[in-house]
């Protein structure tokens, strides 16, 4: 995933502000990053839920409770 700036003949200092190709690329990358963040939030929630369930199971087992 290379930015359109690589080997660009019109590249100059601070051109990211005015380059339409780069702005479109950045919007695309930002969208990908947002999607990844949502996925990681769901995964983190599942992991935390699993930890909570395991902790509750172990606490109940220590107290001698069985189902």
pLDDT tens per residue across span 8-56: 888 888 888 889 999 999 999 999 999 999 999 989 999 999 999 999 9
Q: Check the CA dihedral 39-41-44-50 and report its sign.
A: negative
Predicted TM-score (pTM) of this structure: 0.60
pLDDT at 1 (0 to 100): 73
Kindly give, in sequence order, each residue whose CB lies less than 8 Å from that of residue 8, ignoring residues fewer than 6 positions away.
19, 21
Identify the band that residue 67 occupies on the pLDDT scale cut at 50, 70 and 90.
low
**Could you tell me the pLDDT band of residue 6, with boundaries at 50, 70 and 90?**
confident
Q: Would you state the pLDDT for residue 48? A: 94
């Amino acid at each position: 995933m290379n930015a359109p700036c690589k080997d660009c003949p019109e590249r100059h200092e601070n051109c990211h502000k005015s380059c339409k190709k780069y702005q479109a690329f950045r919007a695309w990358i930002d969208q990908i990053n947002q999607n990844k963040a949502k996925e990681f939030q769901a995964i983190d929630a599942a992991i935390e839920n699993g930890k909570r369930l395991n902790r509750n199971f172990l606490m109940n087992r220590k107290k001698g409770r069985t189902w």
